Structure 1
Amino acid sequence: MKRFFRLQLRTTNVPAARDFYTALLGDGAANADIVPLPEQAAARGAPAHWLGYVGVEDVDQAVRAFAERGAVQLGPTHPTPDGGRVAILRDPGGAIVGVATAPASARAPQPEVAWQQLYAANAQQAATTYCDLFGWQLTDRRDLGGLGVHQEFASRSGEPSTGSVVDVAGLTGVHSHWLFHFRVAALAPALEVVRKAGGTVIGPMELPNGDRIAVCEDPQRAAFALREGGGRQAL
């Protein structure tokens, strides 16, 4: 598989977060994987966040390959209820990512992800690392002015782009992280839900392909983006 097959929200208030995302994204988010923010992460000062897991055949081998390229494993590798294994790392660009045994058949994670965006301290190194480890392919490179230069990638050769890598250098207040874009039918009412719940909104803005996006934080400070438009589906 070697693509994101699972998303998990690690948060400071599980019931409130579940209510928020169900109101925002509908019933598809009602069964989202939402868990308490681990104490170790909170002790390091980590806010609530969405964590993506890339499916691999051999978790130990993936961890070693990541470490050889400068990643740091955060905590031990754990077994999963389905007999697989999972590990969490800080990648060479500073973002948190999970690797887990890919199930034989996996449906796209809920809520629906329209785009996956990696903000990295060294975008070129980070892009090369993911391509080397998972077989991802670099595609278009787009300069979006104040939003930075976006190096797009596809999960497989010949497929449409599913995400992009952006260097955090020059982007004020942006730290290294994976930002997942959730698809919505209409952006304006979705942003009103975010604001009324006590979340924050940056934007909206229009992309070159006509899609409209806004970067948000939920009431527990977990970052995500909302995306309106046909665009390309990431997962």
Structure 2
Amino acid sequence: MELTEPVTGGPCWAELGTSDLEGAKRFYTRLFGWRPETDDRQEAGGYTVAHLDDAAVAALAPLFQQSQSVAWTVSFAVTDAEATLRRVLAEGGSVILGPMDVFDVGRFAVAADPGGAVFQLWQPESFPGAGRFNAPGTLGWVELLTRAPRPSAGFYGAVFGWSTDLDQRYPRWSIGGARFGGMVTMDEKFPHEVPAHWLPYFAVADVDDTALTATRAGGTVLMEPASLPDAGPRIAVLRDPQGAVFGVYRAADSAA
């Protein structure tokens, strides 16, 4: 993506909710070289921040309620979580959780768009979000998979001020002229039970090697490594051993 640091309205963080925190730590450390650090405060509930060198790049956390699915969730930076949630509701979305304070680092909320895709809001205080984008092992693209592309474009435009071009074969999201993600229309190839969702893509040095490493570590390749048409990036879609789905793309390619 064309963002190099978190900006208001843009993606700032990716967080995994998992049924096996220790297993997830082992899997993603092997896959991306992450160094996970678990907050040992009881009230943190096992929240674990993954680092590359000194940069915080993502989080892993236990499931906090029975209804929560094992999944990656994308967070978007906002200046006022309450005001943003009011816009979410006004545009036909829903509020799932919060807003709530997270120690002294920021305010957090979970919402869903009208199509049901879940996302998070992050109002930063001492923690702005990921310390690195687009490098191997870090977040580099976010993709909305939805059955309602036109209403989705209107919703996110109103809530976050995003722009997108629905006339393109693969519409891309941008904010302030910087592209950071795309949108896929879920057609009959997607099983009915698969909900609309946000899919994070992490940059890697070698997509094929990463896919092989994922399978050896107990994961699954859902979409085999492929180079997209028109000089697009080489990508793959993977599933971790607990069932969370995510994408990877070759860092040397432009994900935008």
Could you state the TM-score of these two structures normalised by the residue count of structure 1?
A: 0.85
Within the alignment, does 1:182 sit opposite 2:208 as a pair? no
What is the match of residue 147 of structure 1?
none
Of the candidates 70, 73, 87, which is equivalent to residue 65 of structure 1? Answer: 87
Is residue 207 of structure 1 aligned with residue 228 of structure 2?
A: yes
How far apart are 1:169 and its partner, in Å? 3.0
Q: Give the conservation status (yes or no) of the 8 Å contact 1:118–1:178.
A: yes
Distance between the aligned counterparts of 1:63 and 1:205, measured in 2? 38
Q: Is 1:53 paired with 2:53?
A: no
Partner amino acid, structure 1, of 2:219: G
Q: Given the alignment of the two structures, is residue 154 of structure 1 paired with residue 174 of structure 2, yes or no? A: yes
The whole-number CA distance in structure 2 between the counterparts of 1:203 and 1:83 is 38
1:116 aligns with 2:142: yes
CA contact (8 A) 2:249 2:255 kept: no
Equivalent in 148, 151, 157 of residue 125 of structure 1: 151
RMSD, aligned α-carbons: 2.2
In the alignment, the residues of structure 1 paired with residue 64 and residue 23 of structure 2 have an alpha-carbon distance, to the nearest angstrom, of 17
The count of corresponding residues between Structure 1 and Structure 2 is 222
Q: Equivalent of 2:18, from 7, 11, 14?
A: 11
What is the one-letter code of the residue matched to 1:153?
Answer: W
- Structure-1 separation of matches of 2:128 and 2:98: 24
Q: Please list every run of 5 or more consecutive structure 1 residues that lacks an aligned counterpart in the other structure.
A: 144-149
How many angstroms apart in 2 are the aligned matches of 1:190 and 1:12? Answer: 23
Query: How far off its partner does 1:213 sit?
Result: 0.7
Gaps of 5+ in 2: 1-7, 37-49, 52-57
Aligned to 1:172: 190
2:216 to 196, 204, 227: 196
Secondary structure of residue in 1 paired with 2:130: coil
The match for 2:39 is none
- SS of the residue aligned with 1:62? helix
Structure 1 residues 16-47: Cα deviation after superposition (integer angstroms, max 9, x where no partner): 101111110113664341110122434xxx2x
Distance 1:71 1:56 in 2: 16
CA apart distance, 1:155:
2.2
Quote how far apart the aligned CAs of 1:231 are: 3.1
1:146 paired residue number: none
Provide the residue aligned with 2:115 in structure 1.
Answer: 93
CA displacement at 1:132 relative to structure 2: 1.8
Question: 1: distance between equivalents of 2:251 and 2:59?
Answer: 25
* Whole-angstrom CA distance in 1 between matches of 2:219 and 2:182: 25
- Decide whether aligned partners of structure 1 residues 105 and 87 sit closer, same or farther in structure 2, where only a CA change above 3 A counts: closer
Amino acid at match of 1:21: Y
The one-letter code matched in structure 2 to 1:205 is A
Residues 70 and 204 of structure 1, relative CA distance in 2, 3 Å threshold: same
Residue 21 (structure 1) aligns with? 28
The whole-number CA distance in structure 2 between the counterparts of 1:3 and 1:49 is: 20
| 2:61 equivalent in structure 1 | 35
- Give the aligned partner of residue 55 of structure 2: none
The answer on whether the counterparts of 1:90 and 1:96 sit within 8 Å (CA) in structure 2 is: yes
- C-alpha contact 1:7 1:51 (8 A) present in aligned 2: yes
Shift of the alpha carbon at 1:64?
Answer: 1.0
CA 1:138–1:104: 2 relative to 1, 3 Å: farther
Structure 1 stretch 163-172 or stretch 184-193: which is displaced more?
163-172
More helix by share: 1
